[in-house]
Homo-oligomer: A and B are copies of this chain.
Amino acid sequence: MFKPLDPLLHAELRLAVMSLLVSTEEAEFPYIKEQTGATAGNLSVQIDKLSAAGYIEVEKTFKGKKPCTLCRITPTGLKAFQEYIEALKSYLDVSSK
């Protein structure tokens, strides 16, 4: 009846990061930080987790002389995100019970 919710995605900040990346395809650390309102520390940790799970790719480059952390969603991540949404519906779509 209730589908299990991917614990990796069922966390406010990680979900926000994934949501951003689904639509932007590629985003820099400071941009994500600004859009989500997260602290850098928290964001860093959550990006690591998403990356470790293979949900996103992290590329460390330079923008001029400044370090620049680029994030991209992976096919695995996109699939997980979509499945998470499907699972959520089993909780929200009250009429289907």
Contact = CB atoms under 8 A, between A and B. Distances in A.
Interface of A: 1-2, 4-5, 10, 12, 15-16, 19-20, 22-24, 35-37, 85, 88, 91-92, 94-95, 97
B5 A94 contact: no
Contacts of A91: 15-16, 19
Instruction: Count this chain's copies in the assembly.
Output: 2
Nearest to A11: B10
A12 B15 contact: no
A56 to B, nearest CB: 15
Contact of A97 (B4, B23, B85): B23
A4 B12 CA distance: 8
17 contacts: A1-B36, A2-B19, A2-B35, A2-B36, A4-B12, A10-B10, A10-B12, A16-B91, A19-B91, A19-B97, A20-B97, A22-B94, A23-B95, A23-B97, A24-B97, A88-B88, A88-B92
